[in-house]
Amino acid sequence: MSGELGIVGPAVANETHTIAVDGHPDTRLRVYWPTSVRPEPGATALPVLVYFFGGGFEVADIDWVSWDAIYRQRAADAEVIVVAGEYSLSPEVTFPAQPEQCWSVFEWAAEHASELGGDPARMAIGGASSGANLAAATALMNRDRGNRPVRLQMLEVPVLDLTGGHLDTHDLKVGAPGLLLKRLVRALGRKYLGGHSASLPSASPLLAPSLRGLPPTVIYTSETDPLRGDGEAYVRALSEAGVPVTGMRLIGMTHSSIGVRHEVPAADHLHRDIVATLRTLHDDAVAYPSVFSDGIS
């Protein structure tokens, strides 16, 4: 099917696992290696990127052809192991199942990193849109529960405030008034949250009482995406919390155009920037050792 659609990633080794999640539905993950043959356990010590797809909490999975191609390409180009995590879709399954599933995927990846040919000291967490929300929630949960060393958090066009309070429609030609967009985001959040508060940190990471102790972060936003307000507010909030953070706004881009790199030059540049960022995980030196310090408040 992916070939028929013209969406094909490199022929890299991959395998799928189903894992149990305490108190919630089982979930799947797929491991992608940067080479056509899986390395023997202990033969390599590659960085590991745990990544969550976007789809408004309602669509997509790890079999989605476009996401599969992206995972393959990033693994090959950045020479990292990609662990693509799956989560249940709403409204059939609601919060907090999804952040708990993503936390379980991250924990599985960290615990099995060495046998996968990865390095548990070179972990990264990432996601796009709703997946970026869950990646940010996972990073917070890691800080508060396990505090495993994470070298990078990478969020693409993230939704981080399900109250809609940080939507940015100023000077955007979005074809809809800001009030309507806020209602749409809140309606999407209500279906996902299933009655839970949108102000919980694992639902809206931007509203967490403290962001101290989170890993160095790179956030990509699009100029004509109202959700750029979420991403850019998170850049400011992380910076104020002392977290090393970089924000990049892609001029002229929409929420979804970042995924069409073969048609949009800026999307191709984004891919290359992401690959370059992931390649820094190969560096032996830890750029920001304070990220792993104790005493988070």
* Rounded Cα gap, residues 285 and 257, in angstroms: 34
Q: Mind listing the pLDDT tens digit for each residue in 122-168? A: 999 999 999 999 999 999 999 999 889 999 999 999 999 999 999 88
Determine whether 225 is an active site residue. Answer: yes
In the chain, the percentage of residues whose pLDDT exceeds 90 is 78
Mean pLDDT of successive 10-residue segments in the chain (297 residues)?
60 98 98 96 94 96 96 98 98 98 98 97 97 98 94 98 86 60 81 96 98 98 93 98 97 88 90 97 63 30
Determine whether 269 is an active site residue. Answer: no
Phi (first) and psi of residue 111, to 5 degrees = -70, -30
How would DSSP label each residue in 7-41? Answer: -------EEEEEEEETTEEEEEEEEE-SSSSPPPT
**Which helix or strand (DSSP H or E) is residue 155 part of?**
strand 150-156
Question: Of 90, 166, 255, 257, which residue is the catalytic one?
Answer: 255
pTM for the model: 0.92
Question: Of 119, 168, 225, 230, which residue is the catalytic one?
Answer: 225
For position 73, what pLDDT does the model report? 97
For position 198, what pLDDT does the model report? 95
Determine whether 17 is an active site residue. Answer: no
* Rounded Cα gap, residues 35 and 13, in angstroms: 6
User: Which residues make beta-bridge pairs with 155?
Assistant: 127, 219
* Rounded Cα gap, residues 109 and 69, in angstroms: 20
Structure tokens at 276: 């370059």
Structure tokens at 269: 């540049």
Question: Of 129, 130, 202, 222, which residue is the catalytic one?
Answer: 129
Q: Which residue, among 203, 163, 157, 199, has the nearest Cα to 181 in the 3D structure?
A: 163
